[in-house]
């Protein structure tokens, strides 16, 4: 799956951001929790188009079991495109063992409280409070088809944030943003 992802740092202006969305009749889902363990291949270099493997635990309700996924994510620097594959897993510990045997090493852990709005088919706006960072982040992920222009979709996503007076764009992943 190919995605265009843009993220802004809201600082402490979460309430103002939510109010702007409420004014256009958009409302976030209830808060849920996600925890990612991010793994990179040996010899990993930032900005070198290397893949990452992410072990995600997600809790949407305390009375339901957690959901586990393994996510292969590769950011293609020169195009601004993310290639993402997600696979549900049953045995978290076994999957981590496989990742390590494949030569991936831990980069970081990211915990967040998240809310979302489905804006259109294939487009989701997330509001994240990431542990170890200041303030809140808003992130738009748009799934694109092969026929779509990455540049045009990116321009639309950026224009969406600008229409909400949000221009503090962040190019780093949460794994790179979290204070260790």
pTM above 0.85, yes or no: yes
Domain map of the chain by residue range? 2-177
Tokens linked to 70 = 């393994």
Distance CA 161, CA 61 (A): 29
Domain 2-177 CATH (choose: 3.40.50.880, 2.40.320.10, 3.90.550.10, 1.20.1250.20): 2.40.320.10
Distance CA 135, CA 132 (A): 10
CA torsion sign for 42, 46, 50, 51 is positive
Q: Which of 13-27, 64-78, 108-122, 164-178 has the highest mean pLDDT?
A: 108-122
Q: What are phi and psi of 132, to 5 degrees?
A: 90, 5
Confidence of residue 169 (pLDDT cuts 50, 70, 90): very high
pLDDT in tens, 23-67: 999 989 999 999 999 999 998 888 788 899 999 999 999 899 999
């Amino acid at each position: 799956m190919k995605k265009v992802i843009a993220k802004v740092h809201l600082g402490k202006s979460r309430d103002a951001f939510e109010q702007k969305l409420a004014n256009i009749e958009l409302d976030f889902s209830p808060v849920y929790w996600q925890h990612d363990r991010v793994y990179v291949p040996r010899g990993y270099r930032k900005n070198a188009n290397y893949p990452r493997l992410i072990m995600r635990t997600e809790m949407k309700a305390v009375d339901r079991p957690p959901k586990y996924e393994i996510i292969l994510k590769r950011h293609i620097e020169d195009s601004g495109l993310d290639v993402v594959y997600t696979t549900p897993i049953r045995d978290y510990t076994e999957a981590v063992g496989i990742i390590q045997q494949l030569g991936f090493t831990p980069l970081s852990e990211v915990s967040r409280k998240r809310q979302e709005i489905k804006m259109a088919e294939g487009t989701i706006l997330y509001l994240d409070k990431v542990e170890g960072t200041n303030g809140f982040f808003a992130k738009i992920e748009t799934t694109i088809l092969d026929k779509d222009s990455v540049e045009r979709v990116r321009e639309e996503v950026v224009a969406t944030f600008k229409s909400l007076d949000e221009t503090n764009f962040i190019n780093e992943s949460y794994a790179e943003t979290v204070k260790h």
